[in-house]
Chains A and B, each alone.
Chain A
Amino acid sequence: MQRRDFLKMTSMALALTSGMPQFLARAATQAGGDKTLVVIQLSGGNDGLNTLVPYGNDAYYAARPNIAIPRKDVIPVTDVLGMNPALRPFVPLLEDNEFAWIENVGYPNPNRSHFASMAIWHTADPTGANREGWIGRIAETIGDPFCATYVGDIAPLAVRSDTLTLPVVDDPDTYQVTLPSGIEDEYQSLLNLKRGGEAAFIQQSTLNMLKHTRETQSSLKKYRAGAKYPESKFGERLKDLAKLVASGEAGRILYTSLGGFDTHAAQRAEQDELLKMLSEGLTAFRADLISQGLYDRVMVLAFSEFGRRVHENNSAGTDHGKGGVMFAFGKGIKGGIHGESPDLENLDDGDVRYQVDFRGVYARTLKNWLNLDPREVLGKDFDGPAFV
């Protein structure tokens, strides 16, 4: 039997029986660990240069006469690099040395399409040959479809696998099944019928969902919010993340996204607002985890599919570029700036050249935080900056 068929069958068996089969219990132990990774996807191509600003570089101001962050507004991190003022809530984390910026991140032969580029980050495969997400592959590698949860409505490719459906929660409070009375047996029988094609995929997804909702509901009651979150959809999502971490049913990886970074026009107003929402939301999330006594086991990692062109366009915005910035924070993080200030004298067709392959960042995270073998997930060896 193929490993995949085997996994498919076992996850169905798992949902149909109350006791966990021996071999799965073993896999789950290997998959265990008390560390949680929170991935934040910034969709639309966040402009790295206006996020971590090269304020010591005149070329930056020459390229962006209208949208550069004025020197006086930058929050300095080093002599040449500093943060967008909308990121002020992150200052205490930097001071505590638990906030890392990773500069000039990208991948070979960069693609300026949102969708091709996002798929490359999701699959960790710049050739586009792999159709499974890197987190979906983690689930397959350790044989546990419940190791990662996406919080939101439509799960990104990163948390998809060919054979497993990973949990997606849009609202933990309504994350439960209530059948009309008197049809429980028929419903069970309906889900036990033999099926093929896409119906079999949906059948398996339903069985996984039944198991996961049951377990999550039984542990959700523990949570009381320990911080005030900003009133936004993103704030709500982060509160849901904290709730799932506190319930102990989140799996080892949580994933959510914030969109709107496609700033072709009027960039300052739009991006600053998003960065404010991002930093306020994430610092509330951190405060909440601290009050729950859970912060030590959580690491947050944020990425976007690409940075933007160095020169502004005529609509006070920027078009699609290449290298960008990532950031991470948590107690296990080595704070500060990893990598060099972007070289604005030596551009790649108008864009910042990447210096760090994002797969190296994933590899570090897998190995040093999640205690997993990066090679199994990424296919070969990568190494990245020592931020964790």
Chain B
Amino acid sequence: MLKPYQGAFSKEEAAHLLRRTCWGAPLKEVEEAVKNGLNGTVDDLLNFSLKPAPHNPFDYRDAIKPGRGFQLTQLNWLFEMLHGSEPFRENLALMWHNHFVVATDKVKSGAVLTDYLNTLRKHALGSFTDLALAVSKHPSMLRYLDNDQNVKGRPNENFSRELLELFTVGIGNYTEKDIQEGARALTGWTIKKVGKGTGEEGAEFVYAKNKHDAGVKTYLGKTGNFSGEEVVQMAAEHPAAATFVSRKILRHFVSDVPSEADVKALADTWTRTNGNLRTVIREVLLSEAFFSEHARNSRIKSPVEYIVGTLRTAQMKPNENDKFYEQLGKTLARLGQLPLTPPDVSGWAGGRDWISDATLLTRMRFAAQISKTIKNKKDLTLLLLGRNNPGIENLIRDLPADRQAYLLMVSPEYQLA
């Protein structure tokens, strides 16, 4: 178990918590969190509703041309992140999207991708095995990693490999033979198209019994007549998955380089609770590790954190102009993190990968555009940096609010989460 945090919960800690969980928050929400206390705030965060943001102008069903549907889904998600009432839910969905990766290069259906995101939201704090099963059988994943074409005889190994390597146990905990046997067990899992036959159509899971290899397989040390479900379950419940996925959760919320002791402590909780994600993630948010100096200095902001966090902190109102969101999507793409378009099946590696000449320049351009709208100097450093910083405050004190905001937003400190 991770050591619980015992220190004070003042504006600095509240701002840090809201930055890491909700990408950022205006001063009013920081002050409310302080009043509510650490436990109360975390419990509120964990008890999110599944209701979508009202008046979201982007809906895949409005696509006229095929191929536009998935773009509308991307923009719908971006709008939800920016204006929805449940940013923490969206942050969790982003974390799981970056774990159980699917991408628009192969899944081009708005209906299927929307349903994939809803699956992630629904299972985000449930049992890891349920989440793994739901995603593995989801049409988006079946298509993305070719399991829809995995049939008895000469199986397609793509999904079987990534299930072990990237989604559950990690390299070093399986053999090539496990991949081949797993692929056999997963034969027959495929999809059926539903809908009007347009490019925006949906799809659903189908089990093609005549294409399933019902023979005996040996998988992760056990032998049996395994089904696809059993193989996913065995991988998700393997002891190595506890460590592998705990490390990812710590990387998402705490540090680009989590300590081995923290990984082990969280994996113990995972094992004790059979991968109960609510318990595991709650423990992270209440831990000393989460509020430590190490955590505060060692995590580089992802592009979504930079863009969405800035706009949530600045309390941007929903924009009438759809082009505004299209433009934000383009900026995210230039920064390397357009949602639903990760570079490959391992997702975004994050950390120092986010920093290059090209991305620093794009961040500076975005800062120039957004800082113009900032008029209020009060607690600006605390809000943007998540803590006070006398060194920087001394330098910028005499400047107007917009210039202060610009310099804060291009500072090395603001590139940290």
Complex A-B, nearest 4 residue pairs according to Cβ-Cβ distance, in ascending order: A168-B356, A197-B297, A315-B149, A170-B358
Query: Told that A190-B396, A313-B157 touch, could you supply 18 new A-B pairs with CB distance under 8 A?
Result: A113-B161, A113-B165, A113-B171, A168-B358, A169-B357, A169-B358, A170-B362, A190-B410, A201-B352, A203-B412, A209-B360, A312-B154, A313-B156, A314-B149, A314-B156, A315-B151, A317-B149, A319-B157
A122 within 8 A of B: no
Whether the pair B344, A44 counts as a contact (CB closer than 8 A) is yes
> A116-B171, A199-B416 are known contacts. Are A313 and B357 too (CB-CB below 8 A)?
no
Q: Among residues 272 to 313 in chain B, which have CB atoms less than 8 Å away from a CB atom of chain A?
A: 297-300
Q: Among residues 138 to 195 in chain B, which have CB atoms less than 8 Å away from a CB atom of chain A?
A: 145-146, 149-151, 153-158, 161, 165-166, 171, 176
For this complex, 11 residue pairs linking A to B, each with C-beta atoms less than 8 Å apart, are A153-B356, A170-B358, A175-B358, A186-B399, A198-B256, A198-B299, A199-B297, A199-B415, A202-B416, A213-B361, A260-B105
B66 within 8 A of A: no
The chain B residues found within 8 Å of chain A, CB to CB, are 105, 145-146, 149-151, 153-158, 161, 165-166, 171, 176, 256, 297-300, 333-336, 343-346, 352-362, 364, 368, 371, 391-392, 395-396, 399, 403, 406-407, 410-413, 415-416
Write the A147-178 contact mask toward B (1 if CB under 8 angstroms, else 0).
00010011100001000010111110011111
> A180-B368, A193-B391 are known contacts. Are A202 and B415 too (CB-CB below 8 A)?
yes
B346 CB contact (under 8 Å) in A115, A160, A200, A349: A115
Question: Which residues of B are found within 8 Å of A182, using beta-carbon distances?
Answer: 403
Write the A179-208 contact mask toward B (1 if CB under 8 angstroms, else 0).
110110011011101011111111101101
Whether the pair B334, A170 counts as a contact (CB closer than 8 A) is yes
Report Cα–Cα, A193/B157, bound state, in Å: 52
Question: Which residues of A are found within 8 Å of B352, using beta-carbon distances?
Answer: 160, 198, 201
- By beta carbon, the residue of chain A nearest B415 is A202
A35 within 8 A of B: no
Question: Which residues of A are found within 8 Å of B410, using beta-carbon distances?
Answer: 187, 190
Report Cα–Cα, A288/B1, bound state, in Å: 61
> A183-B407, A202-B300 are known contacts. Are A209 and B154 too (CB-CB below 8 A)?
no
Question: Which residues of B are found within 8 Å of A203, using beta-carbon distances?
Answer: 412
B334 CB contact (under 8 Å) in A153, A191, A315: A153
Which size bracket describes the interface of A in this complex? 35 or more
Whether the pair B336, A154 counts as a contact (CB closer than 8 A) is yes
Whether the pair B395, A189 counts as a contact (CB closer than 8 A) is yes
Question: Which residues of A are found within 8 Å of B415, using beta-carbon distances?
Answer: 199, 202
Report Cα–Cα, A228/B192, bound state, in Å: 43
How far apart are B111's CB and chain A's nearest CB, in angstroms?
A: 21
How far apart are A189's CB and chain B's nearest CB, in angstroms?
A: 5
Whether the pair B344, A154 counts as a contact (CB closer than 8 A) is no
